[in-house]
Amino acid sequence: MASARLADLWDDAVANSLDEPGKLLYRSNLLGSDLRITNFGGGNTSAKVKATDPLTRQEVTVLWVKGSGGDIGSMKLDGFSTLYLDKLEALKGLYRGLTHEDEMVGYLPHCTFDLNPRAASIDTPLHAFVPKIHVDHVHPDAVIAIAASRNAEKLTQEIFGGEIGFLPWQRPGFDLGLKLSKLATENPHLTGVVLGGHGLFTWDDDAKACYQLTLRIIQKAADWLEAKASKPAFEGSKTTSLPAAERAAIATRLMPEIRGRIGKAQAKSGHFTDAPEVLEFVNSNALDKLAPLGTSCPDHFLRTKIRPLVIPFAGDIEATIASLDGLIEAYRADYAAYYARCKHADSPAMRDPNAVIYLVPGVGMLSFAADKATARIAAEFYVNAINVMRGASGVDTYVGLPEQEAFNIEYWLLEEAKLQRMPKPKGLAGRTALVTGGAGGIGRAIAARLMQEGANAVLADIDQASLDAAVADFGKLFGKDRVRGIAMDVTDEASVIAAFEETARSYGGIDIVVNNAGISSAAAVEDTTLELWNRNISILATGYFLVAREGYRLMKNEGNGGSLVFIASKNGVSASAGASAYCTAKAAEIHLARCMALEGAPHGIRVNVVNPDAVLRGSKIWQGEWRQQRAASNKIGEDDLEEFYRKRSLLQRSVYPEDIAEAVYFFASDLSAKSTGNFLNVDAGNVVSFTR
Ligand SMILES: [Zn+2]
């Protein structure tokens, strides 16, 4: 399989119009645009730039280096930290040796140039002390494959013929910066270094030359691996992939089962992939040998945990599900033992002992994390790890990072401090909500409210065009990972079942179901046709039943409770003339909610009702016929309806979609953890709908 070559994207016309920091940003974005050059969020770039000191007006040299966090592919100029190079040099005089290395991080803010608030990364000394103007540090799969081979140093020499040096694995920090500096200074012919078990450094005094050098070195490694690799990869295949539809069906069954077991303390979002490189690995003879070795590059295992959990799948899904308890228990015990073996006196407490990556031969890979984007990115990192293992085991023996080193990174006090600084997760983080009528006015307001609190939203609607627009809008607001649109007809059992299957496969399960899709109609009893009657019953009563039943089944199966919220109506509790079919169907919804609350309680599944009244703005129900009929029956103009309903309410206020969404959020969240079988009127007050 010959892969496409890395493209030189440097454009002089663009670059020559930029100043030095601009050129550095340009180079960084180009490097980060190709995942073969570096993984998401991995690597950093720097330039040593002349500038005028704001106080002394003297010329000084400033190190521009990617700061803590962010990704070189998408970063902006404010992603760089800026530090006085002479002050960084002066830190060498304060250095007390390897056991005190971490204290050097505390000095970095003292070197800040021009009050730049961007925190300097742990890799700063690695850039500062290399005696070249431009430095690139990237994590290419092809180079890590060499760096994670047993004979990494020899292979580096063989491939690059002395142009690229080698440093054995060492945790990045001040000390590695000194070693890198020494190697580069004593060997001026070197253009870069392979860091064992980690990645690549390259350098040059010219920005463009540095970029092209980085590309050339990575391409050389990739070409060499391709030419030398033993075939087939991973010692050939042991298992055959199931057909795509069956792989998806197995993932759909397995994901809620796993999520239910590992999400008791904190809800998790899942991700499924059966990309060709994943299947090649999970189906291979080498799986059982390589998977337990864990990943190599620190970036990889911080995202994927020390090792994945392999779920043997022998073609029987029920037997596989039955085996999950034992497999997950064994993984946790293994993780706890790793923690106990490696911990230091001052190590932070053990974190979540559950696996992040689950490998299923014949099926693919599942991943779970605190939110959907993190779960997806973890899967992408494991694909990086697979590429590394394929490369290394194809030319040599793959070696994972030594366990103690892995632990020292995972439970590094600096890493812990970073975690502690992160904002606390929002109330609905990791949870998934399905909202019917999700592309309409009230449905969108509900989804937006739940997403603001961290939930993933599945918008289910029959209107594909509105659905596409809503998904695009929410993607921009909350990130594409957190929203899905599913075309669904609430009256069609197969369509509803398929929507929940897709939800399970997209996010791992369900926590919140909002029954909101509706219609309205008005007719005197004698004029109510059977067709009109059936239409109300099928969409409002049967539709609510089908959606609630599937959501309930999935929640019960996961075993971590959940919340169903029905959008009913004031008319569900109070009779209204001229709308018998609608009122009867709405009453059926409310009673269904009470029956389900009764059955759901032992499983922690809560069912509550929100009764809106006269939410005209943004509502599809209030367009067309219903609007005309309501205006006619109240003997007013259509434009006067909102004012009419406002004046009719006790509080004399209009009710908006956002008001309904707030009530749904209350019932969906733990704020109402002790409420079930309730209804809440959001109608600005109507005595006829008072609870009785
Ligand atoms: Zn790195």
Distance 195 CA to ligand 1 centre (A): 9
Nearest to 306 by CA among 288, 331, 327, 281: 331
**pLDDT score of 499 more than 90:** yes
- Is the per-residue pLDDT at 536 higher than 90? yes
* Residue 621 pLDDT greater than 80, yes or no: no
**How many angstroms does the Cα of residue 422 sit away from the middle of ligand 1?**
21
Residue-wise pLDDT tens digits, 335-388:
999 999 999 999 999 999 999 999 999 999 999 999 999 999 999 999 999 999
Using CA atoms, how far apart are residues 64 and 25, in angstroms rounded to an integer?
A: 10
pLDDT band, residue 633 (cuts 50/70/90): confident
Q: What's the 42 CA to ligand 1 centre distance in angstroms?
A: 6
How confident is residue 1, by pLDDT bands cut at 50, 70 and 90?
Answer: very low
How far the first Cα of the chain sits from its last, in Å, is 72
Residue 617 has pLDDT above 80, yes or no: no
Task: Provide, rounded to the nearest whole percent, the portion of the chain with pLDDT above 90.
Answer: 85
Which residue from 459, 515, 461 is spatially nearest to 482, judged by alpha carbons? 459
Determine the distance separating the centroid of ligand 1 and the alpha carbon of 137, expressed in angstroms: 7
Q: Convert 267-322 into a string of H (helix), E (strand) and C (coil).
A: CCEEEEECCHHHHHHHCECCHHHHHHHCCCCHHHHHHHCCCCEECCCCCCHHHHHH
Q: What is the mean pLDDT of residues 222-232?
A: 92
Tokens at residue 610, please?
């929100």
pLDDT of residue 692: 65
The Å distance, Cα 666 to ligand 1 centre, comes to 44
Report which listed range, 71-75, 517-521, 598-602, is most confident: 598-602
Distance CA 7, CA 648 (A): 68
**Average pLDDT over the chain, rounded to whole?**
94
Q: H or E stretch including 647?
A: helix 641-648
The more confident residue out of 340 and 416 is 340
Cα separation, 60 vs 128, in Å, equals 14
Mean pLDDT of 633-647: 81
Residues ≥6 apart with Cβ < 8 Å to 656: 445, 615, 617, 618
What pLDDT sits at residue 650?
92
Evaluate whether 496 touches 542 at the Cβ level (below 8 Å): no
Tell me, in angstroms, the distance from the centre of ligand 1 to residue 149's CA: 17
- The pair phi, psi for residue 197, each rounded to 5°, is 65, 15
CB under 8 Å, gap of 24 or more: what pairs does 11-20 form?
Answer: 12/208, 15/207, 15/208, 20/47, 20/49, 20/50, 20/64, 20/207
Over residues 170-181, the pLDDT tens digits come to 999 999 999 999
What is the predicted pLDDT for the residue at 573? 92
Give the tens place of pLDDT for each residue, 504-515.
999 999 999 999
Maximum Cα–Cα distance across the chain: 98
Report the separation in Å between the CA atom of 385 and the middle of ligand 1, taken as the mean of its atom positions: 14
Asked if residue 366 lies in contact with residue 360, where contact means CB atoms within 8 angstroms, the answer is yes
pLDDT tens string 266-305? 999 999 999 999 999 999 999 999 999 988 888 888 889 9
Q: Lowest-confidence range among 219-228, 237-246, 402-411, 638-647?
A: 638-647
Cis peptide before 232 (omega within 30 of 0): yes
Å from CA of 30 to ligand 1 middle:
18
Q: Under a CB-based contact definition with an 8 Å cutoff, are residues 514 and 571 in contact?
A: no
pLDDT at 673: 97
Backbone region of residue 162 per phi and psi (left: phi > 0; alpha: psi in -120 to 50; beta: other values) = left
Catalytic entry in 26, 338, 582, 656: 582
Q: Residue 16 pLDDT > 50, yes or no?
A: yes
User: What number of other Cβ atoms are within 10 A of residue 654's Cβ?
Assistant: 17
Ligand 1 centre from 36 Cα, in Å?
A: 14
Distance from the CA of 406 to the center of ligand 1, in angstroms?
A: 14
* 415-420: average pLDDT: 80
Distance CA 582, CA 524 (A): 11
* Tokens of residue 308, six digits: 């994945």
Question: Ligand 1 centre from 198 Cα, in Å?
Answer: 6
Identify whether 382 is a catalytic site residue.
no
pTM comes to: 0.93
Distance 126 CA to ligand 1 centre (A): 10
CA atoms 116, 120, 125, 127: torsion sign: negative
